[in-house]
Amino acid sequence: MKLLICDDMKSLCEYYAKVFSKTSEVEVVGTAQNGDECKVLVQKTQPDILLLDIQMRTNDEGLEVIKDLLEIKPDLKIIMLTAHRVEDYVFRAFSSGAVDFLYKTAEDGEIVSKVLDVYQNKAAIDADIAAPLTKKLRDVMKMQKSLLYTVNQITKLSKSEISVLRGIYYGKSYREIAAERYVEEGTIRAQASGILRKFETKSMKSLIKSLKEMELFEFIDLYYSDQK
């Protein structure tokens, strides 16, 4: 089995190479200190497994280069190296194509076992990695549910309500929106209240904030154009 090691600390790469030199099952085919070097070596050596540091020249260079590496060698199995807790990185790494994590503080035997298990498709995600991954997946599912609900509510708005909502988003007051539409300000306020009822919220400010966070105003603009 061919192994490539990529870490910005040359001494760590050399240490791992020494660790794996003690087992006949693993051949270290090269070491790299950044994403660019890693891509060249993956192309050249065609490794089975890659130990890839998360933080190299930037805090997430390892994560950023995963896609390119898998385009070069689609069956490459990538194990992310980290010296820190992985909550902030675990979901992004797995969704990008990494298959496992390895703490740099791991014992030599654990390092070798992890690589061999991944190669043989026997690896099981450690509990301290599985927990934040599960939490992130739940958060994503919750966000998707919220997004679908919000899009559905947008489609229930009338053309007038869409116009009011867009006006508020673009910073216009009720008075300004009313003047543009040649209606009383009270009419605009009533429509704004109707919008809040449909979204089951009491605050226009929080509604606008949520729509911004979900990046839905482009959809609203397109939907508004279709309704004209």
In a domain, 134, yes or no: no
Q: How many CB atoms lie within 10 A of CB 182?
A: 6
pLDDT, tens digit (0-9, with 9 covering 90-100), for 14-64: 999 999 999 999 999 999 999 999 999 999 999 999 999 988 888 788 888
At 158, which CATH number? 1.10.10.10
- Do 180 and 89 share a domain, yes or no? no
- Do 205 and 151 share a domain, yes or no? yes
In a domain, 162, yes or no: yes
In a domain, 168, yes or no: yes
Using the 3D structure, point to which of 123, 156, 180 is the last residue of a domain.
Answer: 123
In a domain, 51, yes or no: yes
Pick left, alpha or beta for residue 215 (phi over 0 → left; psi -120 to 50 → alpha; otherwise beta).
left
At 9, which CATH number? 3.40.50.2300
In a domain, 137, yes or no: no
The reported pLDDT for the residue numbered 19 is 94
* CA angle, 119 then 120 then 125, to 5°: 80
| DSSP code of residue 184 | -
The reported pLDDT for the residue numbered 133 is 55
- Do 172 and 115 share a domain, yes or no? no
- Do 87 and 177 share a domain, yes or no? no
> What is the rounded distance in angstroms from the CA atom of residue 1 to the CA atom of residue 23?
11
Mean pLDDT across 133-138: 57
- Do 7 and 118 share a domain, yes or no? yes
The reported pLDDT for the residue numbered 49 is 95
In a domain, 61, yes or no: yes
Question: Is there a contact between 94 and 140 (Cβ–Cβ < 8 Å)?
Answer: no
- Do 27 and 97 share a domain, yes or no? yes
The reported pLDDT for the residue numbered 168 is 92
Number of compact structural domains in the chain:
2
- Do 85 and 187 share a domain, yes or no? no
> What is the rounded distance in angstroms from the CA atom of residue 32 to the CA atom of residue 44?
12
Range of the domain at 30: 2-123
pLDDT, tens digit (0-9, with 9 covering 90-100), for 88-134: 677 778 778 888 888 888 899 989 998 998 888 875 565 555 555 55
pTM: 0.58
In a domain, 12, yes or no: yes
Decide if pLDDT at 148 tops 90. no
- Of 21, 87, 74, residue with least CA distance to 46: 74
User: Over pLDDT 90: what percentage of the chain?
Assistant: 46
- Do 147 and 52 share a domain, yes or no? no
Mean pLDDT across 184-212: 91
